[in-house]
Copies of this chain bind each other. A is one copy, B any other.
Amino acid sequence: MKISYKGDYALKTLLELALSYNKGVVSIHNLARKGDIPVKFLEQVLLTLKRGGFVDSKRGISGGYFLTKPPEKITVGEAVRFIEGPIEPLACAVRDSYDECKDFSGCVFKELLDQVYTATSLVIDTATFAELARRVNARQTERRDCTYSI
């Protein structure tokens, strides 16, 4: 699995919206500023997330984006898979396409990379944005000297 900028931006944005869940909409502009993301690129990411059913928007002045589901019901895995596509390390190891490949040496690598896939899935499919938001809040009250920039 590799996270592209698009995926990184999507994750950051979903987390930001999770932090604002039930507190009204957040404008693209604010999301871009918070995440240090180019506005026009973020527009694309948000439209993708909207088509994926992760977020919805309110148009016009005082419009913005919001999560369609409570953060407890959105996992990092869902988001990553939706944005990045299949996360299997090898194309031929993608689930439900096993029969295709009859290569001996391929098979032993597929076994191995399937273990990688399983271990990865365990981590990202059990992490929800609610939990991530909780951690962020915990840290902010701790008041570490962190600023908001990459």
Using a CB–CB distance below 8 Å, which chain A residues touch chain B? 1-3, 8, 11-12, 15-16, 34-36, 76, 89-90, 92, 101-109, 111-113, 115-116, 119-120, 122-124, 127, 132, 135-136, 139-140, 146-150
Contacts and interface: CB of A to CB of B under 8 A. Distances in A.
Nearest to A103: B150
Given A104-B148, A139-B104, A123 B116 contact: yes
A104 B3 contact: no
Given A89-B2, A102-B146, A102-B147, A107 B35 contact: no
Given A112-B76, A116-B123, A105 B1 contact: no
Chain A residues touching B, majority SS: helix
A3 B113 contact: yes
A108 B136 contact: yes
A65 B70 CA distance: 57
Instruction: Determine which residue in A103, A132, A139 has the highest number of CB atoms from chain B within 10 A of its CB, and name it.
Output: A103
B115 A123 contact: yes
Contact of A105 (B12, B109, B112, B119): B12
A78 to B, nearest CB: 14
B105 A124 contact: no
